[in-house]
Structure 1
Amino acid sequence: MSWLHIITHNIPWFIRTPAIALLGTECYTNLIYNVQLDEIHCLKYGISKFLSLAIVFGSGIVKVPQIIKILQSKSARGLSLVGFLLDSLGLVIIVCYNYRHDFPISTYGESFLLLIQNTIIVTLIILSSRYPKAGLLSFVAISTPALLLAITLVPNSPVPASLLQGLLTLSIPLALSSKIPQIMINFEKKSTGQLSSFLIFSSFLGCLARLFTTLTETGDPTLLVNFSCGSILNGILALQLISYWNEPSKPTRSNDTPLASGNAPTRLSDLNENRTTDPVELDQLRKGPSRPPSSASSKSRSSTSSPTINLNSPRQWTRKAD
């Protein structure tokens, strides 16, 4: 017996019991107890379970950076309220559908955790954007998903399974419409605003992993199409994040450099923008600082411009200079 088998044959019960519950007796015996990695079926199933658990646990914090970003900036600039509302509705449908079909919770557990975080984000968007009757809208945003879950998940639910099947099919265009407004906002502003890069990249990778787990564990075609659409749209958002990484949300004059000191112009363009209409100041700007004119030159200039002026007259002519 090899040293590896000595370890696998003596796994403590508190690790062995949940592992058997997760993998099943057959796959646990093949993969863990006997370390037979050539069992392709059990190997794919084990990888799927590992990815499912990683997705579920990771989803518990995937939108926390987005929540923190809104709280720190006290702004939801660049976030689509409609997109998050539609995303929440799609998550409610996915949770209800999987639960009613008795699918393993590892295949949809993240949807419930994402729904909770989505509800918090929607509430923050409403409050930070100062919508009319923001308190009432926040209450509706919180209570509606909870009410839908309660009606659907209770024993002897009045919602038939056929309706859930139709709603799941409807969730495919919902998935499209929940991400498209955000994509359009990013495209129009050439910026991703307060959108969390961690959220987008983790959602993209999570959808790809969920495609594999759904194909391995349930094989539901509607769920496969749903996660395929999510992967494509999250991939577009990820590309936008990369493209607009250093772009500001509003167009700015990026070619202008800051002034060297105070308000002194440093380039000809700055000089033109600060140009004054006073001819004396224009002359100083063009020729630089000059000495005050002498009395002789002043008299000569005065005699040239107005030769008949009377110096003893009570009316005095002065030149205004700023």
Structure 2
Amino acid sequence: MAAEADGLLKRVLVPIFLPEECYDQLLVQWDLLHVPCLKILLSKGLGLAIVAGSLLVKLPQVFKILRAKSAEGLSLQSVMLELVALTGTMVYSITNNFPFSSWGEALFLMLQTITICFLIMHYRGQTVKGVAFLACYALVLLVLLSPLTPLVVITLLQASNVPAVVVGKLLQAATNYHNGHTGQLSAITVFLLFGGSLARIFTSIQETGDLLMAGIFVISSLCNGLIAAQVLFYWNAKPPHKKKKEE
């Protein structure tokens, strides 16, 4: 029974959470202070937790828009630039065969972000434009993931994430400042994105060793921190009620 239990545990942990040599080091030899293997376990566990959490990160934002039937306070340009950044990270990671635990949230955040893009267009009376945008995006994604796109283009797309993230977040920050409130911006989503980007600095260095990815998450954390600070600053600020025109 003990051997069967050990075999089952090994099948669960290897290679999802630990390489086989670290499994032996930690759970066979019971060397629980083996720092390199502990760092791998922490990074894998944290990475998979981020991926799992990403399934829900932007749903509060989606539901808030649907409930209000309005996308007031959201910058379409900012959301589109965020979509570019997520797409770049996802395509770059797939092309370089990085482990799913190091980038998987980009896939789920991309699906939620493109939904928000469509909802913003829809509630601005541009539904047809939104449908066309979805079709064009799907076509571009297929091309990027195909052998037709050279690696240098994928790398340039990933490098472009830095200005995309910075400009996108600054546009949202400027919109918040101009409006004097954060409108339909979801505080839950903002704080989850901030926490996730901070954690990704560690996991990207540990799992990929790619300084470009790590640098992008550093920039992203700073920008998400700015938006989170605005959410706190404008916490009690409410959008002004639109006055009906007197006849």
TM-score, normalised on structure 1? 0.71
- Aligned pair 1:86/2:84, yes or no? no
- Can you list the C-alpha shifts for 1:76-95, whole angstroms capped at 9, x where unaligned? 11001111111111111111
Q: Write the distance in 2 (CA, Å) between the matches of 1:15 and 1:113.
A: 28
In structure 2, the partner of 1:20 is 14
Q: Write the distance in 1 (CA, Å) between the matches of 2:64 and 2:139.
A: 28
Tell me: CA distance 1:142–1:13, structure 2 relative to 1, closer, same or farther (3 Å): farther
2:128 to 128, 136, 159: 136
- Aligned pair 1:54/2:44, yes or no? no
- Can you list the C-alpha shifts for 1:159-209, whole angstroms capped at 9, x where unaligned? 111111111111110111111111011111221111111111000010011
Q: C-alpha displacement at 1:152, in angstroms? A: 2.2
Q: Write the distance in 2 (CA, Å) between the matches of 1:111 and 1:163.
A: 19
2:211 to 217, 221, 245: 221
1:208 to 182, 198, 215: 198
Q: Write the distance in 1 (CA, Å) between the matches of 2:24 and 2:183.
A: 51
Q: Write the distance in 1 (CA, Å) between the matches of 2:86 and 2:136.
A: 13
Amino acid at match of 2:179: K
Q: State how many pairs are aligned.
A: 241
In structure 1, the partner of 2:188 is 198
Q: Write the distance in 1 (CA, Å) between the matches of 2:151 and 2:34.
A: 36
Amino acid at match of 1:141: F
* Bigger-Rg structure (1/2): 1
TM-score, normalised on structure 2? 0.92
Q: C-alpha displacement at 1:229, in angstroms? A: 0.8
Q: Write the distance in 2 (CA, Å) between the matches of 1:196 and 1:43.
A: 35
Tell me: CA distance 1:144–1:11, structure 2 relative to 1, closer, same or farther (3 Å): farther
Tell me: CA distance 1:135–1:208, structure 2 relative to 1, closer, same or farther (3 Å): same
Q: C-alpha displacement at 1:10, in angstroms? A: 5.8
Q: Do 1:189 and 1:250's aligned partners in 2 also have CA atoms closer than 8 Å?
A: no
Amino acid at match of 2:161: S
Find the residue that maps to 2:98 and give its secondary structure. Answer: coil
- Can you list the C-alpha shifts for 1:81-121, whole angstroms capped at 9, x where unaligned? 11111111111111111111111111111001101001111
In structure 2, the partner of 1:302 is none
Tell me: CA distance 1:14–1:65, structure 2 relative to 1, closer, same or farther (3 Å): farther
Q: C-alpha displacement at 1:21, in angstroms? A: 1.5
Q: C-alpha displacement at 1:136, in angstroms? A: 2.5
In structure 1, the partner of 2:142 is 150
Q: Write the distance in 1 (CA, Å) between the matches of 2:150 and 2:223.
A: 30
Structure 1 gap segments, 5+ residues each: 1-5, 252-322
Structure 1 or 2: larger helix share?
2
In structure 1, the partner of 2:111 is 116
Higher relative contact order (CA 8 A, sep 6+): 2
Q: C-alpha displacement at 1:15, in angstroms? A: 4.3
Q: Write the distance in 1 (CA, Å) between the matches of 2:91 and 2:107.
A: 10
- Can you list the C-alpha shifts for 1:277-296, whole angstroms capped at 9, x where unaligned? xxxxxxxxxxxxxxxxxxxx
Deviation >6 Å, runs of 4+ = none
Q: C-alpha displacement at 1:28, in angstroms? A: 1.6
Amino acid at match of 1:38: L
Identity, in percent, stands at: 34
